[in-house]
């Protein structure tokens, strides 16, 4: 449990801000280091009991109607917090519409999903469980499944002791949010922001400078190096349909406002070197190519090869230390546990 509550001190060691050089001072005007403790969330207090319950739920495929897919299926803790696929595979072997974002550090995002349709991780957790192309379940069946297992009932009672009926769909989401709030990955860049100017190599520091000078930090800033703000993809030059599919109009689906066509939330860039492929379409597998596409489409800049290499090196400094998460032993199903729904669609379409 301790690994879920503490960020390694080596990543957070700091010196007096007065000793900072010009590059570090400029970086601090754009970015913030990760906190040293689990962040708070709105609406409920995070406790060890909620975290342990949320971890079990995160890994339990019985939250899906088929009993095949768990949260970890698309947000794999072992592979950068996502599934490293163009788009995820869900119920009936259907392909989802967008690339799966990482669960790591997602608690720091302004909103969840590429279009920001969920305001926080509680709301986000409910979406995939009910989505027909993902887990294809219902709140009622989810609760019935969990209530059928005495161990889960006990865990919910311990996690929500003030409630007379603790096994609810809302509490499922709260517990998953509590666990996901522990998925914080301190990186060399955090040590740098905290005063260790040798935490970044000379090439990474050159890349940080280029990242700021070229305007990348205008959208990708803050503690998550992005994850906030909504911007048109193709602000200066729209990418081709192979990268920006014309049938996905982004935030327009949420707001129904014409100005939001092809607008998406700025991607958080922590661990980005581990989470290929890139963009909401998942069409780009090379991070340096993704950097060049963003420079041209969003900033109207054609980067020199050495600049692209330097920015790539800087982004690699955002690769963080993953918390030590042990795979939970889940409660056994009982005679009253709802049976899985068959995967009725063919494997290939």
241 neighbors 290 (Cβ within 8 angstroms): no
CB atoms within 10 A of CB 214: 18
User: Tokens representing 292?
Assistant: 């060049």
Token output for 238: 């729209």
Q: How many CB atoms lie within 10 A of CB 317?
A: 22
* Annotated catalytic residue, options 134, 177, 307, 316: 134
CA 281 to chain centre: 16
Rg (CA), the chain: 21
Question: With contact defined as beta carbons under 8 Å apart, do 76 and 89 qualify?
Answer: no
- Using CA atoms, how far residue 41 sits from 29, 46, 68, 116, 160, in Å, is 25, 7, 30, 17, 16
Residues 104, 183: Cα–Cα separation, whole Å:
5
- Please give the Cα distance from 336 to 213 (Å, whole number): 61
Helix (H, G, I), strand (E, B) or coil at 227: coil
Total number of residues shown for the chain: 349
Question: Is 52 known to be catalytic?
Answer: no
Rounded to the nearest 10°, the torsion over CA 28, 6, 77, 40 is -70
Q: Are the beta carbons of 222 and 35 closer than 8 angstroms?
A: no
**Dist CA 318 CA 204 (whole Å):** 10
Q: Provide the annotated active-site residues.
A: 134
């Amino acid at each position: 449990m301790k690994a879920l509550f503490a960020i390694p001190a080596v990543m957070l060691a700091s010196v007096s801000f007065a000793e900072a050089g010009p590059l570090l001072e400029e970086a601090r005007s754009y970015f913030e280091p990760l906190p040293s403790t689990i962040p708070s969330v709105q609406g409920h207090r995070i406790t060890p009991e909620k975290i342990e319950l949320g971890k079990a739920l995160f890994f339990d495929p019985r939250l899906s109607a088929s009993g095949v897919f768990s949260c970890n299926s698309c947000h794999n803790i072992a592979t950068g917090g996502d599934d490293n696929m163009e788009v995820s595979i869900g119920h009936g072997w259907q392909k989802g519409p967008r690339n799966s974002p990482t669960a790591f550090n997602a608690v720091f995002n302004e909103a969840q999903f590429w279009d920001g349709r969920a305001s926080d991780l509680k709301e986000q957790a409910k979406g995939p469980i009910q989505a027909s192309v993902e887990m294809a379940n219902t709140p009622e069946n989810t609760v019935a499944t969990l209530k059928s297992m005495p161990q889960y009932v006990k865990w919910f009672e311990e996690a929500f002791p003030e409630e007379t009926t603790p096994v609810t769909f809302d509490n499922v989401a709260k517990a998953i949010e509590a666990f996901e709030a522990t998925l914080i990955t301190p990186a060399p860049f955090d040590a740098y922001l905290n005063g260790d100017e040798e935490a970044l190599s000379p090439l990474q520091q050159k890349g940080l400078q280029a990242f700021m000078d070229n305007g990348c930090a205008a959208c990708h800033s803050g503690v998550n190096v992005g994850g906030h703000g909504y911007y048109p993809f193709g602000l200066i030059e729209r990418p081709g349909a192979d990268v920006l599919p014309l049938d996905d109009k982004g935030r327009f689906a949420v707001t129904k406002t014409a100005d939001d066509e092809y607008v998406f939330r700025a991607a958080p860039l922590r661990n980005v070197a581990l989470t290929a492929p890139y963009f909401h379409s998942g069409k780009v597998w090379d991070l340096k190519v993704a950097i060049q596409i963003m420079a041209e489409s969003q900033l109207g800049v054609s980067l020199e090869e050495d600049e692209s290499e330097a920015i790539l090196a800087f982004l690699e400094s955002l690769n963080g230390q993953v918390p030590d998460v042990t795979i939970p032993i889940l409660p056994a199903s009982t005679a009253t546990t709802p049976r899985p729904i068959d995967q009725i669609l063919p494997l290939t379409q």
